[in-house]
Amino acid sequence: MDLLLVEDKDSFRRLLIQALEGTVWTVRAVADPQEALRALESQSFHVLVTDLRLPGMSGLELIRRARRLHPGLRVVLMSAFGEPKDIVEAMRLGADDFLPKPFDLDAFLALLDRLRALVGAPPPDPSEPWIAHSPAMQALDAALRQAAGAALPVLFRGERGAGKERCARRLHGLRHPAAPYLSLAAATLGPEGPDPRMLQLLQGGSLFLAGLEHLAPASAAPLARAMDGATGQGLDWMGGVDPAGVLAPELAQRLGSLELRVPPLRERREDLLALARLLLERAARREGRLAPWLERSAERQLLDHPWPGNVRELEVLVGRTLLFSEGHAIRAFLDLGLGEAVPLCLPWPEPAGLEAMLKTVARCAEAQLLRRALSEATGDLPRTAEILGLTVRTLALRLRDHGILLEDGESTLPRKAP
């Protein structure tokens, strides 16, 4: 993992570099904040560690500019002269922690370990909307709040696309919002079970296993052993399964103690329009345009549809309609099926050699083909794998490689070409 260290005192900079030798961190150390900005412009870093008082620019200004370049950057501010107002300002700018000099090197390394976990498994956005106007969702929300007070593993049972992973994020936020969180497709687990390094990364946080009905039989026993191990007991386990999904006995014993049903969208009519407007705003933001409003005719069209594909179907519909819409209002949505041809729109790659540009375009096209096939199969992983001529595990690994979640993923629609 890449760390940018900004410290103008040569001796202290060398001390910190020496402390990080032999760790997972690849360190670039500079004394000048302007040089740090040039480094941030030329490459991405996982963590920035900076002093408060620097020549020509304060550490606070450096944090402000660095976070503008890389919004997800994790930041540590150090100082021997930090006043409370400086610390408050640093936290407002997005700093994760403050270290008063001099500090213990073991404490410094422990802090970096915590940040490494948050980089590898960032907690969900606490401002992510949670729409629960319907009685079914209000009942589920009450159950989630009760579950938050216990450390029991939780199994979410619901139809494909209903939002099981979103419910897991909600529960994690209620339990420990600042802790690491990871969603993993169960089909990606091999016969060796979860990676112990991944479980170590998630200590104090949560792991959600999506699509447990697709877990390979050979992976059930290793997964159960991992849950029972010392490392596995240091995190919260959650899983998602279809209504008719059957867990292996050893997993049912561990994940079946608290089972919550996620209602399908057809049982959440009071939430439908609020969800549609939220998804419309997100899709419009990605396109760099203002979200159009929904006219009454479009709202009636949404309310009259049976929604067999749940929230995922709604997201696809909203994205497809926005792609081909003009003006400030949506009077009607496109046909709710996926039958008509949608153009494959690929962004221009960064100028480079032809081979490199072709690789970039091919990767972007692969992601869109995966999303399209997943939507046509309404989230059914085996059916999607059959369409694409892949094994279920290979498909799940490809989806993970492209950051495509099996639950609540981004729209499967192509964006407009720039």
Distances (CA, A) of 133 to 23, 264, 272, 296: 48, 14, 9, 20
How large is the average pLDDT for residues 53-70? 92
Q: Looking at residue 255, which CATH number applies to its domain?
A: 3.40.50.300
Domain-terminating residue out of 210, 230, 263: 263
Taking 90 as the threshold, does the pLDDT of residue 353 lie above it? no
Q: How far apart are CA 413 and CA 368, in angstroms?
A: 7
Beta bridge partners of 47: 3, 74
Two tokens, residue 10: 């040569």
Q: Is 115 exposed, middle or buried (0-12, 13-18, 19+ CB in 10 A)?
A: buried
Domain-terminating residue out of 263, 286, 303: 263
Asked if residue 277 and residue 302 are part of one domain, the reply reads yes
Asked whether residue 129 is assigned to any structural domain, the reply reads no
Strand 181-185 relative to strand 154-157, pairing: unpaired
Residue 84's domain comprises 2-120
Q: Looking at residue 303, which CATH number applies to its domain?
A: 1.10.8.60
Confidence category of residue 272, pLDDT binned at 50, 70, 90: very high
* DSSP 8-state assignment for residue 228: H
User: How big is the CA angle at 407 (ends 230 and 226), to the nearest 5 degrees?
Assistant: 15
8 neighbors 52 (Cβ within 8 angstroms): no
Give 114's contacts (C-beta < 8 A, 6+ positions apart). none
Confidence category of residue 409, pLDDT binned at 50, 70, 90: very low
Two tokens, residue 405: 């979640």
Catalogue the E-assigned strands of 33-143.
47-51, 74-79, 97-100
Distances (CA, A) of 215 to 209, 245, 251, 392: 9, 11, 11, 10
How large is the average pLDDT for residues 397-405? 81
How large is the average pLDDT for residues 198-206? 93
Asked whether residue 12 is assigned to any structural domain, the reply reads yes
pLDDT of 342 reads: 54
Q: 237-273 in b/e burial notation, b at 16+ Cβ within 10 A?
A: bbbbbbeeeebbebbeebbeeeebbbbbbebbeebbb
Domain-terminating residue out of 228, 263, 298: 263
Residue 298, classed as helix, strand or coil, is helix
* DSSP 8-state assignment for residue 340: S
pLDDT of 166 reads: 95
How large is the average pLDDT for residues 6-20? 94
Give how many domains the chain has, as a whole number: 4
Asked if residue 113 and residue 161 are part of one domain, the reply reads no
Asked whether residue 86 is assigned to any structural domain, the reply reads yes
Asked if residue 207 and residue 152 are part of one domain, the reply reads yes
Asked if residue 240 and residue 229 are part of one domain, the reply reads yes
Asked if residue 303 and residue 234 are part of one domain, the reply reads no
DSSP string, 207-222: EEEE-GGG--HHHHHH
Asked if residue 179 and residue 251 are part of one domain, the reply reads yes
Residue pLDDT, tens place only, 37-57: 999 999 989 999 999 999 999
Asked whether residue 313 is assigned to any structural domain, the reply reads yes
Asked whether residue 396 is assigned to any structural domain, the reply reads yes
Asked if residue 304 and residue 275 are part of one domain, the reply reads yes
Q: Which of 80-94, 134-148, 281-295, 306-320 has the highest mean pLDDT?
A: 134-148
Lowest mean pLDDT among 160-169, 302-311, 343-352: 343-352
How large is the average pLDDT for residues 89-106? 89
**To the nearest whole number, what is the mean pLDDT of the chain?**
88
Share of the chain above pLDDT 70, in %: 94
Confidence category of residue 7, pLDDT binned at 50, 70, 90: very high
How large is the average pLDDT for residues 340-345? 58
Taking 70 as the threshold, does the pLDDT of residue 328 lie above it? yes
Q: Looking at residue 351, which CATH number applies to its domain?
A: 1.10.10
Asked whether residue 128 is assigned to any structural domain, the reply reads no
Residue 293, classed as helix, strand or coil, is strand
Give 278's contacts (C-beta < 8 A, 6+ positions apart). 129, 131
Taking 70 as the threshold, does the pLDDT of residue 137 lie above it? yes
pTM assigned to the model: 0.75
Lowest mean pLDDT among 40-54, 151-165, 310-324: 310-324
Catalogue the E-assigned strands of 69-128.
74-79, 97-100
Residue pLDDT, tens place only, 186-197: 999 989 999 998
290 neighbors 284 (Cβ within 8 angstroms): yes
Two tokens, residue 9: 């005192």
Secondary structure percentages of the chain, helix, strand, coil, to 5: 50, 10, 40
Residue pLDDT, tens place only, 160-188: 989 999 999 999 999 999 899 999 999 99
pLDDT of 225 reads: 96
pLDDT of 340 reads: 45
pLDDT of 336 reads: 55
